Amino acid sequence: MMNQVPIREDAHAVVAAQWGRRLAVQLGFSLVEQTAISTAILEIARNIAKYAGHGQITLHTLADGACVGIEVIAADSGPGIADIALALQDGYTTGKGLGLGLPGARRLMDSFEIVSQPGAGTTITMRKWRTSTDHRDKPGGL
Ligand SMILES: Nc1ncnc2c1ncn2[C@@H]1O[C@H](COP(=O)(O)OP(=O)(O)O)[C@@H](O)[C@H]1O
Ligand SMILES: [Mg+2]
């Protein structure tokens, strides 16, 4: 599986979100979960294009016993985020956005971690675990 999407512009963010949805479908995630994952990817990938200029989104499949999940790693070498707690507040933006991308993505996923240093870039790791139980008849369902 091609699991890494370079991000330089909004159109690439859309591609990354589509790849995330496709993987979620393959793994038997529900429609609501597919949408949560693709929306979270879209937001953090658009942030890469807007604030860092370029970076990449990497997708991984997680398997822990009977549990199946998706891990998304968004990495860039941009300006970094000086105050991560502030950036995670609803409505905070240094651009002209709504300031809902990071907090929204955090709510949509099960885990969400930001590692960032000013001048050194930003890495966001987020995970979501499949909750549906009627996945055995779906492609890729375990
Ligand atoms: N990859 C990134 N590199 C640098 N700064 C970022 C990055 N992602 C987010 N930020 C900072 O966090 C703020 C909040 O992001 P977000 O919640 O998506 O809101 P918005 O994109 O509408 O500003 C941004 O305004 C920006 O200052
Ligand atoms: Mg944003």
How do residues 51-94 score in pLDDT, each as one tens digit?
999 999 999 999 999 899 999 999 999 999 999 999 999 999 99
Pocket test for ligand 1, best of 73, 77, 102, 115 (most atoms within 8 A of CB): 102
- Report yes or no on 134 lying in a domain: no
Q: How much is the mean pLDDT over the chain? A: 93
- Report yes or no on 49 lying in a domain: yes
- State the greatest distance between any 2 C-alpha atoms of the chain, in Å, as a whole number: 48
Ligand nearest to the CA of 86: 1
Q: Which residue has the tokens 């502030």?
A: 86
Contact 26, 33 (CB under 8 A): no
Domain that holds residue 62: 4-129
- Report yes or no on 75 lying in a domain: yes
pLDDT above 80: residue 50: yes
CATH code for position 81: 3.30.565.10
Pocket test for ligand 1, best of 41, 47, 108, 109 (most atoms within 8 A of CB): 47
The whole-number average pLDDT for the span 98-126 is 97
- Report yes or no on 140 lying in a domain: no
pLDDT above 70: residue 31: yes
Q: Does ligand 1 come within 6 angstroms of the Cβ of 104? A: no
Quote the number of domains for the chain: 1
pTM given for the model:
0.93
Within 10 A of 83 (CB to CB), how many other CB atoms are there? 11
